[in-house]
Structure 1
Amino acid sequence: MSRLTDLRFRAATSFQRRINPVLRRLPLQTVLETTGRVSGLPRQTPVGGRRVGDSFWLVSEFGERSQYVRNIKADPWVRVRIRGRWHTGTAHLVPDDDPVARLRRLPRFNGLGVRAFGTDLLTVRVDLDT
């Protein structure tokens, strides 16, 4: 990993540690809840994404370095809060998807941040239980 990549990762995660506790309390903020792979406790992460039919799509800015992606690999059962309502589902990492093209179809504000700070984009699809 390059020094610049590591610096971007550390800067973004430091910022997210401070802002995420505030964001996840906002009632209309989309939140992904995974199960901590070590603690077994629920872990909530504010995300930007979009529901398309019975799936919810998002792009991880740091790929498999993201804690929530590591949690998904350990246990793909997740919950997603969309517009204030919780939905259960199964998350899938989609490495063959084009994450840059996917970002064009997701909320613009989040996409700008992911593109600006992201170093290893990875698409995630959550198949929602109906």
Structure 2
Amino acid sequence: MADTARDRITRFFQKNVANRVMRRMPFQTLLETTGRKSGEPRRTPVGGRRVDDSFWFVSEFGEKSHYVRNIMADPRVRVRINGRWHRGTAHLLPDDDTEARLRELPQFNSIGVRTFGTNHLTVRVDLVD
């Protein structure tokens, strides 16, 4: 599927403005993956919810998201929830009903995912600590 102008503008804004600000917020939830090319830690602000020993969220751009591509290369991740880091294993769930999932997740973030996202993909991180 070809990128639309909206996709390019959204990704540019997220990468160069929103994500840079949000990563600095002490209680913003962050997903840390390992860069598939660099091997360096990559931190991305995400909105989701912890349910028991799992953290759930929906990616706006699915497999076009760099963090999703990083997960495909190495599913070992960390998630910072309420200022505390947790190790875990990420699972991509293409058969999950993302609309139903977004109704279960924090509404402010879900509105943004619905508004700007074009290829939703559910991600579950099984937390180990």
TM-score by length of 1: 0.95
2:128 corresponds in structure 1 to 129
Which of 13, 16, 23 lines up with 1:15 in the alignment? 13
Deviation per CA, 1:58-101, whole angstroms, max 9, x where unpaired? 00000000000000000000000000000000000001110111
Instruction: Name structure 2 gaps, 5 residues minimum.
Output: none
What's the offset of the Cα at 1:38?
Answer: 0.2
Identity %: 69
2:59 corresponds in structure 1 to 60
Moved >3 Å (runs of 4+): none
Instruction: Provide the secondary structure at the position in 2 that maps to 1:88.
Output: strand
Q: Which amino acid aligns with 1:122?
A: L
Instruction: Provide the secondary structure at the position in 2 that maps to 1:28.
Output: coil
Matched, 1:95 2:117: no
Distance in 1, matches of 2:5 and 2:84, equals 36
1:32 corresponds in structure 2 to 31
- Please provide the CA RMSD for this pair: 0.9
1:45-84 alignment, distance < 5 Å: 45-84=44-83
The number of aligned residues is 128
